[in-house]
Amino acid sequence: MIEMRVDALVMIGGKVDEMVSDEEYVEKINQITDTIPVVITGKLDGSDCYQVNIDQKKAMETAMEHLISLGHEKIALIGGRRDVNSTYTKRVTYRSSLRKHGIEFSQDDIVETPEYSVECGLQVMDGIFDSGKPLPTAVIAINDFMAMGIVQSIRRHGLLIPEDISILSFDDTFIAEAETPRLTSVGYNYDRFANTLVDTAILAIEGKNPPKMQLIPPKLMIRESTAVR
């Protein structure tokens, strides 16, 4: 990209999603930021990048407040890897929300997954049924794809959504509207996210000093997959 003489770089995913920033990688990025503005969608501690991120903390707070307001206390959080910054933030916020409302936390209610697929959601939910432990009254899926698998598992075990178990997911993709029942999902306003990334890069190119850190607020779309406990 430097050899192509680009005016700015927008970096999405990869090392910027890691919990612990790679020191050598940060140094290489700083060599670039000396001459070219770099906009990232995660974090690089010690770097001179512009950051545009989805407000993951607010996203989880919104999800938890919705379910707890419906009377749910046994809430499972399924999906994600602990070494990914966005997942880590969601987990910490999940526990904080439980504590805020005086609800006891159980490690069994958080399930880590190597993938974010429909199949993975199905396998994890099947495992919860097979464990013989008390079932959650609500499940938060790390994304809409995993939610699809979770829905399939619940149906296969003869339970109803949301009468027996409520489902809430993140992303609010086309899947949320296409699933039956339609999924309650926390949307990330990707149009605004993309526009902010590009606008930040352009302002930096023009030397207009855009904010170093910007957070894109989420929006909860309430549909038929969640109900009063």
Helix (H/G/I), strand (E/B), else coil: 75: strand
| Residue 182 backbone phi and psi in degrees, to 5 | -60, 140
Pairing of β 219-221 and β 184-187 = antiparallel
| 192 neighbors 200 (Cβ within 8 angstroms) | no
User: What local confidence, expressed as pLDDT, does residue 65 receive?
Assistant: 98
**Is the bond leading into 181 cis (omega within 30 degrees of zero)?**
yes
Q: Where in the chain is the domain with CATH 3.40.50.2300?
A: 56-187
| 124 neighbors 117 (Cβ within 8 angstroms) | no
Report the alpha-carbon distance of residue 206 to residue 7 in Å, rounded.
10
| Residue 161 backbone phi and psi in degrees, to 5 | -115, 125
Instruction: Please give the CATH superfamily to which domain 56-187 belongs.
Output: Response regulator (3.40.50.2300)
pLDDT in tens, 198-220: 999 999 999 999 999 999 999 99
Residues of the chain with pLDDT under 70: none
User: What local confidence, expressed as pLDDT, does residue 1 receive?
Assistant: 80
Is the C-alpha dihedral spanning 32, 35, 36, 38 positive or negative? positive
